[in-house]
Structure 1
Amino acid sequence: MDADVDLEQAVRDIPGVEEFPGLARAWRWSPMFRFVFSLAMDAEGTRIHQVNARDSFDEGLARAVLAFAREHRAGLGEDPRPFEVVPGFSHQGYGFDAVAAVQPGIHGYYEGRNAELDEVVVGVFPAYVREFSGNETPEEAFMRFKKMLNPADMTREAVPFLRMRFDNTRTGGGSEGDLREFTTPDVLLQELELLEGAPGSFVEYENRHGQVRRIGWNSSWTVDGEAREHAPAPAEVLETLN
């Protein structure tokens, strides 16, 4: 960051920006009716946290996220991870249990738009601990942030960390290669439902803890190599994603 840049003035220069009620050194602005962007200066006055909301702005939730991020210096360490997840967050009426922070190279909020803010704004959003492994690469974090988590929806449900590969001899569906790819619980449950009656078929999935489970069907069910009379119930499968 250029030492001569006055960050507070840079924010105040944003067209339409206004003070954020109830939070010191904080502002909000709306580039169009669907979006509200809320910003708060960190305690040192050198970085800014920003919460984006699309069609779902809740002033109380945005204020709580910014205050929590400021208090815990979310994403402000010297070598932050692609997702910096701070557990312990809560807000009445919501199920979120963490705040997640992402760096400019991932969120890209001001890239090519505002040079003064481009490298100093840390994106933060209300999140769920079960959405992250803590070991995501920058590429994985970028994909999850942009395509799966929908962080600007302040009413969103959790999208648990889940990687899967599968092969189904009856439907012809399956993964390419041995790598497990990110997916969602509904896809996992659907592929498990399609296993029965497909000899030699399997679904293999990994949760945020790095635990891998393999469920197969070959005239009977197997779970991690052990025979079972019935397929695992959906509730049992979803429990393994916590």
Structure 2
Amino acid sequence: MRVAFDVERAVREIPNVEEFPGLARAWRWSPMFRFVFSLAMNAEGTRIHQVNARDSFDEDLARAVLTFAREHRAGLGDDPRPFEVVPGFSHPGYDFDAVVAIQPEIHGYYVGRNEELNEVVVGVFPAYVREFSGNETPEEAFFRFKRMLNAADMTREAAPFLRMKFDNTRTGGGSEGDLRGFTTPDVLLRELALLEGAPGSFLEYENRHGRVWRIEWNGSWTVDGEAREHAPAAAEVLETLN
């Protein structure tokens, strides 16, 4: 008969682990001075929420995130999404408006160290609602979590959900294939600025709601099939990413 995995014991056996101040059944540990990992047990004692911080640990913020995640059972449902976005979070001094939960196959926090512990840990981090569509595939969530969101930086700004494809006949730049790929607002604005003077060029981008805009320059501007005298202003474009 297989012995049930003792979650709390596994946490307490982590080297240098200590109680997290002001939060019941919660701990923190640091593998080196740049990182602090904060953990809190769920009510049933079967799963753990974990917040990672790199060069930015704020004890009050970490406590608030863990408390919010515990109260809302973030990521603990039977069929959690790759990114489970729980809106309504706030904390003084920060603009975060959500907490996001990620599953073990995405975060991999204890892979190669303690596989059983890894499987019961739900990663959580403070976030912005505009960063997620809610329809990300596991592959998309893995890419964005590992490459774009910088979730362990507690001082980070939003990285809005944005997918784009483009082609510029003058610079020779462009995306590969027919699909829109994830990118950042600065890349979108840079390519928009380069469109003028490049006949036959375009860019097409999608926000978190699935709304798509297509901007073309062929001697004059066209936005979603309608002629315009000028290109959309940067502020107008950024507003569409909210």
- Normalising by the smaller structure, the TM-score range is over 0.9
Aligned to 2:198: 198
Map residues 50-129 of structure 1 onto 2, 5 A cutoff.
50-129=50-129
Map residues 199-218 of structure 1 onto 2, 5 A cutoff.
199-218=199-218
Aligned to 1:162: 162
Displacement of 1:3 in angstroms is 5.6
Once residues 194 and 115 of structure 1 are traced to their aligned partners in structure 2, the CA distance between those partners, rounded to angstroms, is 48
Aligned to 2:7: 7
Displacement of 1:6 in angstroms is 1.6
1:82 counterpart SS class: coil
1:144 counterpart SS class: helix
Letter in 2 for 1:6: D
Once residues 133 and 3 of structure 1 are traced to their aligned partners in structure 2, the CA distance between those partners, rounded to angstroms, is 40
Aligned to 1:27: 27
Question: Would you say how many aligned residue pairs link Structure 1 and Structure 2?
Answer: 241
Once residues 67 and 140 of structure 2 are traced to their aligned partners in structure 1, the CA distance between those partners, rounded to angstroms, is 27
Unaligned stretches of 5+ residues in structure 1: none
Deviations 1:19-66 (A, max 9, x none): 000111000000000000000001111100000000000000000000
Unaligned stretches of 5+ residues in structure 2: none
Letter in 1 for 2:22: G
Once residues 5 and 131 of structure 2 are traced to their aligned partners in structure 1, the CA distance between those partners, rounded to angstroms, is 36
Deviations 1:135-184 (A, max 9, x none): 00000000000000000000000000000000001101011121000000
Once residues 115 and 101 of structure 2 are traced to their aligned partners in structure 1, the CA distance between those partners, rounded to angstroms, is 20
Aligned to 2:150: 150
1:224 aligns with 2:224: yes
1:117 counterpart SS class: helix
Aligned to 1:133: 133
1:118 counterpart SS class: helix
Percent identity of equivalent pairs: 86
Aligned to 2:181: 181
Once residues 51 and 209 of structure 1 are traced to their aligned partners in structure 2, the CA distance between those partners, rounded to angstroms, is 27
Aligned to 2:172: 172
Once residues 176 and 48 of structure 1 are traced to their aligned partners in structure 2, the CA distance between those partners, rounded to angstroms, is 40
Once residues 105 and 237 of structure 1 are traced to their aligned partners in structure 2, the CA distance between those partners, rounded to angstroms, is 34
Once residues 128 and 171 of structure 1 are traced to their aligned partners in structure 2, the CA distance between those partners, rounded to angstroms, is 34
Aligned to 2:17: 17
Letter in 2 for 1:179: L
Letter in 1 for 2:141: A
Letter in 2 for 1:102: I
Once residues 126 and 82 of structure 2 are traced to their aligned partners in structure 1, the CA distance between those partners, rounded to angstroms, is 16
Aligned to 1:37: 37
Question: Alignment RMSD, CA only?
Answer: 0.8
Once residues 177 and 27 of structure 2 are traced to their aligned partners in structure 1, the CA distance between those partners, rounded to angstroms, is 48
1:166 counterpart SS class: strand
Once residues 84 and 176 of structure 1 are traced to their aligned partners in structure 2, the CA distance between those partners, rounded to angstroms, is 30
Once residues 225 and 41 of structure 1 are traced to their aligned partners in structure 2, the CA distance between those partners, rounded to angstroms, is 53
Letter in 1 for 2:33: F
Letter in 2 for 1:185: P
1:119 counterpart SS class: helix
Once residues 196 and 130 of structure 1 are traced to their aligned partners in structure 2, the CA distance between those partners, rounded to angstroms, is 29
Displacement of 1:7 in angstroms is 1.1
1:230 counterpart SS class: coil
